[in-house]
A and B are shown apart, each in its own frame.
Chain A
């Protein structure tokens, strides 16, 4: 009996011992790091090499290590005391993992931020996850100021402070879902002998004929979590802004904020997609259809129209489906484009970074000339690529038919970037020349909603949008029958409060701009 009682204490005491040991281990490593830092500091004064841990989405490209060590050699040779290290996080874990890294105070110096993704800079800043960079840029980033245009810097500001270094890797008005660009199979349109449509009705009519002509069930490729800007262009109210991913807010060119889902235009969207759904012009399982499947269809040229543009996959299509000809155009082509994003991609410095200057020093080095930029993005000339002409290169493939490149959309600069020599002409032109379409700027350009005061309502509204609105928006459920109930639950979730908060913050933003 006595023994049994004693036995019970043993696991408990063991746990305590382990806890103590673990804590000691933790604090030990901490103090070690500190002393290391000191030692380095004593040795070479300011010349201690600072780590630059760059956290990015995706998986490592082939030969990545090779190139990173070349970059580090060049950094050293150029007297920049920074050592680059890439930390890839798989796409499906990106949001969760980065959240976790930031909230637990894991140390790294630079993170990629997607402004049109689910967590834009404003959202990070609202959580206190990033640090302002103004002083650091003044001190360490003279080249940054030169190469990145003022409008981008202006848009990188939150509460008057710069929180990230924008990547100006494309002309913001070139083809994309946000711009309302329609990609299409030019060969199919030619086959049915029709001109590119101007109205929504014409688009449906051509799509039906193209689907028949294709001889195989091809669809209009579209995504559920993006606003159909291509369609909005055909409305009388154009141009107006709808928040692209969340699809809650509408802002017209006079700066009037209203509820997008309650608008006449949203009903028109739903009715249009209902027609597409009933005529089987979009995938009947559109709500379940996975992104990978859509991407695959795009690379195979298996579509009639694509609501995100299509030239971006033209290299793959040229290889996979040589008969398919791809082009991009706009419905109501005579109307202007609406630009509401100053940039889509940017790089920020987490609040936890002890040496934030490492990030700025690195970016300053990267953007200071074409050689540095291209070394990081495309590797060593001769080993990883061969320059062909001004803007094109032949990316050398290894034994596994793979070549090195770093995704230019994360950090590239349009002035330096190189393009695959096999890029179809249309696509190369799109990437290297500024579009000539007339452009209007939305009053929301540079504005960011801080969702922090309405966090609960915002999260609940988004959840209701996913479950009740998306099926209506994609035409799976008819608007007339299902919308009233959906609106009721949106109101219950706090839609009005969200819109009011947007109105208030936007009014403040506009007032501050006028000053």
Chain B
């Protein structure tokens, strides 16, 4: 009897883990439920991408139309443009976002004054909590032709004011800049947490060997951050086909002049479907985004695996 009990206790199962850390699991529960309901329960609805969906008939009785719903997007003249814009804006945001966040997390880590560290960290984090609608008004107050801060500045220095909202060229960089500005704080916090987790003895050893600050960063901090960095980047690449709709819609809105550099798959779909209101086409495009995103994650993961097996997600 005693022996059997011992054996049972030895088998450390998932359920014993739950019993041991009930509160931790309770904390995960809402997220788990959310993912389950919105991530898994909705999967069967994907079938409407291949149907001529009729509200009254529902998903079981609507007429099957095959690939017809995909035609809307792929036949449009804008398909290549919006696909390219989506990838371009996201790629640039991921690239600059990662570099800037990494830079700031290392800089923050080097700060010794606790107060200054706290203040600067909070300041960095603050934009993350602003809604894009609010940001869009801030942007407008910067770039508006008449009372915009930038045009006022240009005029003070004797330049002509510029009609920002009718030239698509600068908007790629304005949007990338905004997304970096808004999200740097959050990513920096994650990297900072990873840095704090690095074993102090490594730095001590390096110091004994006479490594200076820069050498410590280069040879310890950055390599130790690689796993975190690759996971975050992988996650970002998986979403490279999804743009930050709320950002682009709030800032660009219905201004057709700027679409050539800023219109992305999400805004394009939203705009065209707002009037036609056809959920089947929306689902078709969503499916397209998911499939490509999935392929991209797999290939990015495969590349990571080639270079560093431990940093890959699966």
Interface residues in chain A, defined as those with a beta carbon under 8 Å from any beta carbon in chain B: 3, 6-7, 10-11, 15, 18-19, 22, 95-96, 99-100, 102-103, 105, 118-119, 123, 127-129, 217, 224-225, 246, 283-285, 287-288, 290, 351-352, 451, 455-456, 458-460, 462-464, 466-471, 476-477, 489, 492-493
Contact = CB atoms under 8 A, between A and B. Distances in A.
Contacts of A118: 274-275
A459 B165 contact: no
Contacts of B253: 288, 290
B14 A455 contact: no
A489 B81 CA distance: 13
A19 B40 contact: yes
Nearest to A290: B253
Interface stretch (B71-79, B119-127, B152-160, B215-223): B71-79
Given A15-B36, A460-B76, A102 B255 contact: no
B276 to A, nearest CB: 5
B145 A459 contact: no
A459 B146 contact: no
Nearest to A477: B257
Given A103-B53, A105-B58, A127-B278, A459 B40 contact: no
B157 to A, nearest CB: 20
A102 B271 CA distance: 19
21 contacts: A7-B13, A95-B274, A119-B275, A283-B146, A284-B146, A285-B140, A287-B165, A288-B165, A288-B253, A288-B255, A290-B253, A459-B278, A460-B76, A460-B77, A463-B78, A463-B268, A463-B271, A466-B271, A467-B263, A469-B256, A470-B254
Contacts of A463: 76, 78, 268, 271-272
Nearest to B273: A459
Contacts of B274: 95-96, 118
B89 to A, nearest CB: 17
Contact of A285 (B75, B77, B144, B254): B144
B78 to A, nearest CB: 7
A403 to B, nearest CB: 28
Interface in B280-313: 281
B55 A103 contact: yes
A274 B58 CA distance: 48
Given A19-B41, A99-B277, A103-B279, A287 B58 contact: no
Q: Which one of A95, A96, A459, A462 has the highest number of Cβ atoms from chain B below 10 Å of its Cβ?
A: A459
A128 B272 contact: no
B112 interface: no
B109 interface: no
A459 B72 contact: yes
B11 interface: yes
Q: Which one of B254, B255, B276 has the highest number of Cβ atoms from chain A below 10 Å of its Cβ?
A: B276
A3 B36 CA distance: 25
Interface string B1-23: 00000000001111100000000
Contacts of A103: 53, 55, 279
Contact of B276 (A128, A224, A458): A458
Interface in B37-58: 37, 40-41, 53-58
B105 to A, nearest CB: 32
Given A15-B36, A456-B71, A470-B256, A287 B166 contact: yes
A18 B36 contact: yes
B252 to A, nearest CB: 8
A83 to B, nearest CB: 25
B80 interface: no
A220 to B, nearest CB: 15
B13 A95 contact: no
A7 B14 contact: yes
B1 to A, nearest CB: 23
A99 B278 CA distance: 8
B191 interface: no
Interface in B124-145: 140, 144-145
Contacts of B56: 128-129, 351-352
B54 A455 contact: no
Interchain residue pairs A-B with the least CB separation, the first 7: A467-B256, A10-B14, A284-B145, A128-B56, A459-B272, A287-B255, A128-B54
Contacts of A351: 55-56
A103 B146 CA distance: 44
B7 to A, nearest CB: 13
A3 to B, nearest CB: 7
A298 B20 CA distance: 64
A288 B37 CA distance: 38
A264 B259 CA distance: 27
